[in-house]
Amino acid sequence: MIALENVSKRYGSTTVVDDVSLTFGGEGVTALIGPNGAGKTTLFSLVGRLLKPDAGRVTIGGLDITRTPSGELAKSLAVLRQDNHITARLTVQDLVEFGRFPHSKGRLTVEDREHIERAIGYLDLGTYRNRFLDELSGGQRQRAFIAMVLAQDTRYVLLDEPLNNLDLRHMTEIMRLIRRMADELGKRIVIVLHDINFAATWSDRIVAMRDGVVVADAPAREIMRPEVLGAVYDTPVDVREIDGRPVALYYS
C-alpha cells in the first residue's frame, strides 16, 4: 500500500500540496484529476520520490521512501514522468532493458531477458524492437516507455500524463493497455490525467485535487456528478449518460 500521512510541499510562501493524507494501491487504477495548478503532479512527484516533502511522510509497503535505498524502492515502485524525453538515440529494445536495471545493475540475466521479452510482447512491440525511438509515432513511443515500466516488474506504477500529445485513437489505446495491466497483471496504477472522461471510463477510483488539497475521493462514477465536478473545476459541468457511461460536458 502507498500511504501519504499529512504531506505538504511549499515553494517559498506558496503551499502547493497542503496536509494531504491518502492511501493508494487497493484499486487497480486510481486517477488523479484537477485543474492546472491543483497539485496533482507535485503529489505524484512526492510519491515517486522526485520531490521531498516539507512535512509528513510517504511510505510504500511500510517503507519510508526518504530512507529506503533507491534500488530497493525501484523493485516496488515504477515511475514514468511526463517529461520522459531521452536525448540518446535508443532502440525500443534498449529502452525496455533499462527497466531491468534495478534488478540487473546492467548485467542482464536469463530472468531479466524473460521480463524484457514479456513486456515487449505485452505491448505488441515486437515489430519495433530494433527501431529507434525517434522513428516511432507518439503512441508507439509511449507504448515503449510503458513496456520499460512493465519490465521493471513492480507492484505499484505511477504514470504522469501518459496521454499528452496523443490523438484520440492512441489515447484510447494507451488507457486500454493500462486497464489490462491492472486487471491481468495485478498492477496498482496511479495515473495523473487531465481528461475527466478518460479518468471516469478507465479508472476504478478518482482523487480530485484543487489548490493543493483533496476535494473529492471516491469510486469514479460517484465523482461524475455536476456538483462534484463543478466544485473541482470551478465551472458549470453537466453530466450525461451516453451508452451507459457518465460523460462530463463543460460550459464557460
pLDDT values of the chain reduced to their tens digit, one per residue, 252 residues? 899 999 999 999 999 999 999 998 888 999 999 999 999 999 999 999 999 999 999 999 889 999 999 888 999 999 998 876 665 689 999 999 999 998 888 789 999 999 999 999 999 999 999 999 989 998 999 999 999 999 999 999 999 999 988 999 999 999 999 999 999 999 999 999 999 999 999 999 999 999 999 999 999 999 999 999 999 998 888 899 888 888 998 765
Predicted confidence at residue 141, as pLDDT, reads 92
Q: State the Cα torsion 109-113-119-123 to the nearest 10°.
A: 160
pLDDT score recorded for residue 142? 93
The answer to whether the CB of 8 falls within 8 A of the CB of 20 is yes
Quote the pLDDT of residue 115.
96
**141 within 8 A of 170, measured Cβ to Cβ:** no
The two beta strands, 188-192 and 205-210, are: unpaired
Rounded Cα distance between 33 and 218, Å, is: 12
Instruction: Determine the pLDDT at residue 249.
Output: 87
Contact at 8 Å (CB) between 121 and 143?
no
pLDDT of residue 27: 86
Q: Looking at residue 46, what is its pLDDT?
A: 95
Q: At what angle do helices 138-151 and 168-185 cross, to 10 degrees?
A: 20
Residues 6+ apart with CB under 8 A from 195: 163, 171
pTM: 0.91
**How many CB atoms neighbour CB 183 within 10 A?**
12
pLDDT at 245: 86
Residue 87: its pLDDT value, please? Answer: 57
Q: So what's the pLDDT on residue 65?
A: 92
